[in-house]
């Protein structure tokens, strides 16, 4: 059996959200498979979520789903490609984990 990607050191996951308006399918299947690997899940430190505010309450909901299941914080939520201010906020928050 071929195993997927294994990350054997602490990391921060950048999570895109691809979902229907009801939030279903918010976490991409490859990401679910990645996090089903115990080593990956145990090394996950935090999340940065990405989404589109036009989805209202479901904005970046994939990051919320993973945060709850894996019990890790969301450092920041970014709309689409983000802004220079988003980059600054994420860089600042990541420094807490270095």
Instruction: List pLDDT tens digits, range 49-63.
Output: 998 887 778 888 899
The Cα-based distances of 90 to 12, 13, 21, 69, 73 in angstroms read: 11, 12, 27, 22, 13
Task: Find the angle CA(86)-CA(91)-CA(93) to the nearest 5 degrees.
Answer: 95
Domains of the chain: 11-97 (3.40.50.360)
- Res 65 pLDDT > 50: yes
* Mean per-residue pLDDT, 75-84: 90
Give the tens place of pLDDT for each residue, 14-50.
988 876 666 677 888 888 999 999 999 999 999 999 9
Entry pTM = 0.85
């Amino acid at each position: 059996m071929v195993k997927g990607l294994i990350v054997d050191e602490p990391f921060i996951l950048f999570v895109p959200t691809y979902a229907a308006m009801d939030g279903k399918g918010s976490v991409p299947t490859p990401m679910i498979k990645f996090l089903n690997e115990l080593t990956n899940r145990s090394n996950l430190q935090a999340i940065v979520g990405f989404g589109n505010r036009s989805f209202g309450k479901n904005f970046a909901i994939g990051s919320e789903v993973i945060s709850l299941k894996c019990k890790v914080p969301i450092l920041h939520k970014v709309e689409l490609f983000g802004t220079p201010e988003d980059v600054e906020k994420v860089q600042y928050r990541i420094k807490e984990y270095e």
